[in-house]
Amino acid sequence: MFCTTLFSGSGYDEPFTENMTQLIEYMQKGGRFRLVEGHDDICRYCPNRESEGCALGTENVADRDRAALEVTGFTPGRELGRTELLERLGQLKEEDFRYVCKDCRWQEEGLCSYALLRERTKP
Ligand code: SF4
């Protein structure tokens, strides 16, 4: 939810970035998606993916997923469209963003921010 909204073209490697770009285009064209627990379509091409989790720290990723569900109020299995997602993300406070994205390298490198979240979720 957060990562597709704040994506700026940087990724772990080319297949990951290409897949992310295609997923975002699908969403922008009105494609619907379902929230899942564990590996999702974004993880599919991630070079850090492992059969049982993530080489960068499964618990860290799982915690972030849990935090994203908590602040949005969405539950796994929920089907969403991009408009609904952006509407919900646009209602979040800065502390919600910090809760979900804290310690993520992309936020620490300045690629993701609450200001960008506000910008991308403008009606
Ligand atoms: S800071 Fe990390 S977790 Fe948050 S949106 Fe950016 S890439 Fe995703």
Give me the percent of the chain exceeding a pLDDT of 70: 100
Ligand 1 atom at shortest distance from the alpha carbon of 111: 6
The pLDDT assigned to 53 comes to 86
What is the Cα–Cα distance from 114 to 110, expressed in whole angstroms?
10
| Phi, psi for residue 78 in degrees, rounded to 5 | -70, 135
CA of 51 to the centre of ligand 1 (A): 22
By most ligand atoms within 8 Å of CB, the mutation choice from 103, 107, 114, 121 for ligand 1 is 107
Helices marked H in the chain: 2-6, 14-28, 58-72, 82-89, 94-101, 105-108, 114-120
What is the Cα–Cα distance from 121 to 24, expressed in whole angstroms?
14
Reported as a pLDDT band with limits 50, 70 and 90, residue 61 is: confident
More confident residue, 67 or 58: 67
For ligand 1, whether the C-beta of 64 sits within 6 Å is yes
Does 120 have pLDDT greater than 90? yes
- Its pTM surpasses 0.75: yes
